[in-house]
Amino acid sequence: MKRIVFFNHAHRGDVFISRAFLTHIMKEIDIEFSYAHYWGEYLLRDMNVGYIDIDKESILSDKRHVGNFVLDNVLYINTWIGNYFNHSKPRYGECNLKSTYELMYSEIFECVRDKFKIDIQLKNIMKYFPSINYSYFKIDEIDKFIVEDNNPKVLLCNGPVLSGQCEYNGDMQDIIRTLSEKYSDTTFITTHRIDCNNQNVKYTGDIIQSNESDLNEIAYLSKFCNVIIGRSSGPFTFANTKDNMFDENKSFLCFGKKENDCLPYELDIECEFIFELFSNLTNLENTITGLVENEKTV
């Protein structure tokens, strides 16, 4: 094989979850690597992997539901977990680290062993929570913000979900306004701009001040937030880093349809990670209020 091309026709979170697995493979094989997806070179800028715009790669245009294949001495590896779902196998339809590990990368690593004749084995699953080298991203303004704002911080990933993870797809504006008025000494940071002029409500775009996607920067900002709230999509997924998962001082609240959509589902992590089956906004507000109250008494 002259190179490996990873490809993924799904969303940014799907690519994000593949980070640690790909890093492992890339360390084991001295070869050229590229990643074909929709989201530009920004997404994996800190990794030594070339970017391919999947829209412009005719070989991959119709391969969303195709497994790993070889063409012209290039190994193409599909990193979308949906491709590996099988009704006859356990964990059908689950989108978490454990299902990714057991369903997808067990097969991918077997493929790599076969094609390259090397003994590459999956490590302990806890090694595969995503990590980011933040020095490649725009974090200077975040560092300034953290120095200037000494309040406890709550990160609310309140943008819409793209794969139906929750019946409620709103921006939590009324909840955020109420909480920010009740807890004036707590900073509430939103990933989606809302109509609220309270001084302790901040928007990530205003903090980061980037002209491109800022999901990796939001992940960095999440390191400084005591409570992180959202649905299993977008910025909330990017906050599920190894640093945060093993920080005993952090609390996560994920709300939506399925607990097994949560990245750390069934894994023994150190942060507090709560899943709430979404029922209504009143119950959601009560749960968030409890987390903020608990944070203030610690």
Q: What confidence tens digit (pLDDT) does each residue in 86-98 have?
A: 877 778 778 899 9
Q: Which two tokens stand for residue 148?
A: 């200037």
The amino acid occupying position 170 is: G
Is 262:273 a contact under the CB 8 Å cutoff? Answer: yes
The amino acid occupying position 183 is: Y
Secondary structure E strands in the chain: 3-7, 32-37, 50-53, 69-71, 74-78, 153-157, 187-190, 201-203, 227-230, 251-256, 272-277
Residue 152 main-chain phi, psi, to 5 deg: -60, 150
Give me the residue label for tokens 């003994």: 119
**Measuring CA to CA, which residue among 120, 152, 170 is closest to residue 250?**
152
Domain boundaries, the chain: 3-128, 136-297
Q: What confidence tens digit (pLDDT) does each residue in 69-81 have?
A: 999 999 999 999 9
Cα separation, 70 vs 91, whole angstroms:
28
Q: Which two tokens stand for residue 33?
A: 């690597």
The SS3 call for residue 170 is coil
- What pLDDT was estimated at residue 86? 81
- What pLDDT was estimated at residue 297? 56
Instruction: Characterize 178-207 residue by residue with b for buried, 16 or more Cβ atoms within 10 angstroms of its Cβ, and e for exposed.
Output: ebbeebeebbbbbbbebebeeebbbebeeb
Residue 34 main-chain phi, psi, to 5 deg: -135, 160
Give, as one character, the DSSP assignment of residue 270. S
pLDDT confidence of 298, banded at 50, 70, 90? low
CATH architecture of 136-297: 3-Layer(aba) Sandwich (3.40)
Is 121:109 a contact under the CB 8 Å cutoff? Answer: yes
Q: What confidence tens digit (pLDDT) does each residue in 132-175 have?
A: 999 999 999 999 999 999 999 999 999 887 777 888 889 999 99
Residue 197 main-chain phi, psi, to 5 deg: -100, 5
- What pLDDT was estimated at residue 77? 98
pLDDT confidence of 296, banded at 50, 70, 90? low
The pTM is what? 0.95
Q: What confidence tens digit (pLDDT) does each residue in 102-136 have?
A: 999 999 999 999 999 999 999 999 999 999 999 99
Cα separation, 200 vs 151, whole angstroms:
9
Is 155:229 a contact under the CB 8 Å cutoff? Answer: yes
**Measuring CA to CA, which residue among 105, 197, 118, 208 is closest to residue 155?**
208
Of 6-15, 54-63, 109-118, 155-164, the one with minimum mean pLDDT is 155-164
The residue length of the chain stands at 298
Mean predicted confidence (pLDDT) in 54-81: 94
Using CA atoms, how far residue 29 sits from 22, 24, 115, 120, 131, in Å, is 11, 9, 11, 9, 20
Q: Which two tokens stand for residue 228?
A: 């992180």
Mean predicted confidence (pLDDT) in 279-297: 90
Q: What confidence tens digit (pLDDT) does each residue in 190-241 have?
A: 999 999 999 999 999 999 999 999 999 999 999 999 999 999 888 999 999 9
Is 187:154 a contact under the CB 8 Å cutoff? Answer: yes
